Amino acid sequence: MIPKPDLLAQAQKLDTRALGEIYDLYSPRLYRYAVRLLGDACTAEDCVAETFSRFLQALQKGRGPRDYLQAYLFRTAHNFIVDHYRHESPESILDDDTPDCQNTEENACLNIRQHHVRGALLELTVDQGQVIALKFLEGWENEEIARALNKPVGAIKSLQHRALAHLQKILLDDEV
């Protein structure tokens, strides 16, 4: 097994063993991230495949991440997710209010709520959406998010504040 700090250096040389280890290390996390935001296993698989394909293409061209590989991969995956939703009509994502589940089957109701929250995340800017997803779904620290978004920690806090306010308005103000 190649030591973690050397993985990226080896991958930049297109070492297939290093690339295999990187895939094994990050693809489960990327899949989980994608399936949470996309809500569909097939599209999440597409997201993982496309993320690694773009990573490989970048390495082939001598580009790609110089450090913070995890941040780069999540950023690429998030871009895929945003692109995916751009091709869907906004109405199909945000067509209902947060449902009242008193008279509905719980599972179906949960699915609708999840769909609604995903739709609300898409109402945010790309950066705001990624901050919320990484912070509250993946449990990243602000410093890690700052590296992923290539921004100072202060900017991340500001993005988070605005994003939460906006989400609250979309998801909760209707309830009041």
Partner 1 sequence: MTNDEKIDPRLAALLDELKPASARDPQAATRARGRFLAQAVSASEERRHNWWMTIFQQKEKFAMNLIMSVLVVLGLLFGGSATVSAAQDDLPTQPLYQIKLMSEDVRVWLASDPNMKIELLMDQVQNRTEEMAVLTLAGITPPAESSIRTQDRIQQALQLATTLDDVSMSAAIEQIRKQLQTQEQSMTQLQSGSCTECEPILQQTRDMLHTQLGQIESNLADPETSREQNQNQSQNQIRTTQTPLATDSPVTPQTSSYTPALDGTGQQNGNINPLAGTPMPQDPGTNQNNYENGNSGGSVNGNGSASGAGGQGGKP
Applying CB under 8 A, which residues contact partner 1?
14-16, 19-20, 23-24, 27-28, 31-32, 35-37, 41, 45-50, 52-53, 56, 59-60, 80, 83, 98, 110, 113-114, 117-118, 132, 135-137, 139-142, 157, 160-161, 164, 167-168, 171-172, 175
Residue closer to partner 1 by CB (options 125, 136) is 136
Among residues 43, 114, 54, the alpha carbon closest in space to that of 85 is found at 43
**Shortest spacing between CB 5 and partner 1, in angstroms:** 20
**Shortest spacing between CB 52 and partner 1, in angstroms:** 5
Residue closer to partner 1 by CB (options 36, 151) is 36
> Each residue of 105-129: b (16+ CB within 10 Å) or e?
eeeeeeebeebbbbbbbbbbeebbb
d(CA 88, CA 84): 7
Are 4 and 18 a contacting pair, CB within 8 Å? no
Question: At a CB cut-off of 8 Å and minimum separation 6, what does 36 contact?
Answer: 133, 137
**Shortest spacing between CB 56 and partner 1, in angstroms:** 6
- What burial class does residue 43 get, using C-beta atoms within 10 Å of its C-beta: 0-12 exposed, 13-18 middle, 19+ buried? middle
**Shortest spacing between CB 118 and partner 1, in angstroms:** 7
**Shortest spacing between CB 61 and partner 1, in angstroms:** 10
d(CA 91, CA 74): 27
Residue closer to partner 1 by CB (options 60, 125) is 60
Residue closer to partner 1 by CB (options 72, 80) is 80
